[in-house]
C-alpha cells in the first residue's frame, strides 16, 4: 500500500565493488595495456643497459625503475577504473588545477636537463613533467565544459574550453614543447568535433595552426631545426633519426636477434623516445605490428563502447582520452620512421619514464572507468525515439 501511494522504494546497489568492477570493465582493453607494459619491460632489458653503463649504474638500473614506476602506474590505473564518472571528474579537476599551477611555475623552478626545453622539476631522486599529468585532467575538464554548453540555458562551455585550450597550448609552446601542445590541441579538437562543432570553424582552426607553425618556425631555432631536419632529403646517419632509420632497416621482418642490436649503443634516447627502433632492430617487423595492433585495439574498442554511451560528458571525455592515447603512440612511431618531425614524445606504457608511465596509468584508468558497462540503453534508442 505504501508503494501504491508514495511510489516505488529506491533500491540500493548492494553489489560489492570488485565483482561489479570485474563484470563491467572492458577486459580486452585492460589486457592490451598489461601486454604493452610487459613489452616495455622486455624492450627495457634490451635498450637501457648501455645507458646504465655509461652513467655508472648497474646494467638493469633503468629496468628496475621502470618496473617500479610501472607498478605505480598499474595501481593508479586499477584504482581509477573502479571509480564512478562523477568521482573521476572531481579528482580530475583537482589534478588539473595542481598540474596547471605547476606548469605556470616551470619557468621559475623548472629545469631542462640540458635538452633546451624547461619541462621538468628535478627532485634529485626523480623528475616530474607537469604536462604529462595535465593531459588527462585537461581532457576531463574540457569535456565537462563542452557537455555543460550543450544543456539548455547552460554556460558558454565551448568558449570556456577554447580559452582554456589556447592558454595551455601557449604555455607549452613557450617551454618549448610543441609536441605536447599539438597533442592537447588535437584532443580538444576531437572532442569539439564530437560535440557538434561547425566544419567551417574547424577549417579556420586548422588555418590558425598553420599560421602559428609558420610563426614558430621563423622565431624558434629549436622548432626550425627539427622541421629542417625532417624536410631534408638526406638523413645524417650520425643523428638520432639516422640511427633509428638504419636500425629499422636492419631489423627486417624477424629482427637481428635478441640482444644483437647495435642502435641502443648509439642512441641516447633508445629507452624512451626511440624504443620502437630497438624493437624493430632486435625483434623485427613482427613485434612492431603486434605493438601497433595493441594500440589500435585499445582505441577502437574504446570508441565502440563510447558510441553506446548516453551521457554527453562521459562520451566526450572518453573520446578525448582515447584519441590522445592513440595519437601519442602514432606520433612516437611516426617520428622513428621519419613520417613526422622529432617531437620528444614517449610511447605510452612502453617507453621509460616515471611521469609518462604514472600519468598514462591515470589516463587509461579514466578511460576504463568511462567505458565500463552501465545499466542503460544504447544512444541509438534515443535517436529512434524509444523509451529509456
Report the mean per-residue pLDDT for the chain: 85
158 within 8 A of 149, measured Cβ to Cβ: yes
Mean pLDDT calculated for residue range 71-82: 96
pTM: 0.88
CA distances 155 to 41, 138, 148, 175, 313, Å, are: 46, 18, 6, 32, 14
318 within 8 A of 367, measured Cβ to Cβ: yes
376 within 8 A of 367, measured Cβ to Cβ: no
Residue 286 cell numbers, joined: 613482427
Residue 294 has pLDDT above 50, yes or no: yes
Angle between helical axes of 199-219 and 178-194 (0-180°, round to 10): 170
262 within 8 A of 46, measured Cβ to Cβ: no
Strands (E), the chain: 121-122, 127-128
242 within 8 A of 249, measured Cβ to Cβ: no
Q: What is the pLDDT of residue 204?
A: 79
| Interval 188-213: pLDDT, tens | 999 999 988 777 777 777 787 778 77
Give CA torsion, residues 179, 293, 363, 345, to 10 deg: -20
Look-up of cell digits 589486457: 31
CB atoms within 10 A of CB 312: 20
How is the chain split into domains, by residue range? 21-37+56-236+313-374
321 within 8 A of 370, measured Cβ to Cβ: yes
Q: What is the pLDDT of residue 229?
A: 67
Give CA torsion, residues 264, 268, 274, 279, to 10 deg: 10
Residue 8 has pLDDT above 50, yes or no: no
**What are residue 262's phi and psi, to 5 degrees?**
-110, -20
**CA 101 to CA 106: how far, in whole Å?**
9
**CA 281 to CA 358: how far, in whole Å?**
28
- ∠ CA 14-15-18, nearest 5°, is 140
| Interval 91-118: pLDDT, tens | 999 999 999 999 999 988 888 776 767 8
Mean pLDDT lowest among 9-23, 149-163, 338-352, 364-378: 9-23
CB atoms within 10 A of CB 143: 30
Most confident of 41-50, 290-299, 341-350: 290-299
Mean pLDDT calculated for residue range 314-318: 96
Residue 385 has pLDDT above 60, yes or no: no
Helix (H) or strand (E) holding 140: helix 130-149
Amino acid at each position: 500500500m505504501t508503494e501504491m501511494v508514495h511510489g516505488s522504494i529506491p533500491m540500493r546497489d548492494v553489489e560489492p565493488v570488485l565483482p561489479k568492477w570485474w563484470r563491467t570493465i572492458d577486459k580486452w582493453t585492460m589486457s592490451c595495456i598489461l601486454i604493452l607494459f610487459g613489452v616495455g619491460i622486455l624492450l627495457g632489458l634490451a635498450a637501457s643497459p648501455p645507458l646504465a653503463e655509461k652513467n655508472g649504474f648497474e646494467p638493469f638500473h633503468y629496468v628496475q625503475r621502470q618496473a617500479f614506476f610501472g607498478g605505480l602506474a598499474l595501481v593508479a590505473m586499477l584504482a581509477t577504473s573502479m571509480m564512478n564518472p562523477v568521482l573521476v571528474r572531481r579528482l580530475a579537476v583537482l589534478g588539473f588545477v595542481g598540474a596547471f599551477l605547476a606548469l605556470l611555475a616551470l619557468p621559475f623552478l623548472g629545469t631542462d636537463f640540458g635538452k633546451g626545453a624547461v619541462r621538468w622539476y628535478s627532485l634529485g631522486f626523480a623528475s616530474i613533467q607537469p604536462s604529462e599529468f595535465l593531459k588527462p585532467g585537461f581532457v576531463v575538464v574540457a569535456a565537462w565544459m563542452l557537455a555543460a554548453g550543450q544543456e539548455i540555458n547552460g554556460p558558454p562551455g565551448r568558449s570556456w574550453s577554447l580559452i582554456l585550450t589556447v592558454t595551455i597550448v601557449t604555455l607549452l609552446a613557450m617551454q618549448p614543447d610543441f609536441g605536447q601542445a599539438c597533442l592537447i590541441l588535437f584532443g580538444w579538437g576531437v572532442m569539439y568535433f564530437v560535440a557538434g562543432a561547425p566544419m567551417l570553424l574547424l577549417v579556420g582552426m586548422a588555418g590558425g595552426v598553420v599560421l602559428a607553425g609558420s610563426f614558430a618556425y621563423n622565431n624558434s631555432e629549436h622548432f626550425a631545426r627539427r622541421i629542417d631536419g625532417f624536410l631534408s632529403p638526406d638523413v645524417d646517419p650520425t643523428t638520432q633519426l639516422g640511427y633509428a632509420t638504419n636500425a629499422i632497416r636492419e631489423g627486417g621482418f624477424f629482427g637481428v636477434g635478441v640482444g644483437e642490436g647495435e642502435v641502443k649503443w648509439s642512441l641516447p634516447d633508445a629507452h624512451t623516445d626511440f624504443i620502437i627502433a630497438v624493437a624493430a632492430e632486435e625483434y623485427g617487423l613482427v613485434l612492431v605490428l603486434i605493438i601497433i595492433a595493441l594500440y589500435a585495439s585499445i582505441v577502437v574498442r574504446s570508441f565502440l563502447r563510447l558510441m553506446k554511451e548516453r551521457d554527453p560528458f562521459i562520451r566526450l571525455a572518453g573520446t578525448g582520452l582515447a584519441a590522445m592515447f592513440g595519437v601519442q603512440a602514432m606520433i612516437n612511431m611516426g617520428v622513428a620512421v621519419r613520417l613526422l618531425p622529432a617531437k620528444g614524445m614517449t610511447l605510452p606504457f612502453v617507453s621509460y619514464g616515471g611521469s609518462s608511465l604514472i600519468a598514462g596509468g591515470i589516463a587509461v584508468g579514466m578511460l576504463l572507468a568511462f567505458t565500463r558497462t552501465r545499466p542503460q540503453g544504447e544512444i541509438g534508442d534515443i535517436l529512434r525515439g524509444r523509451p529509456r
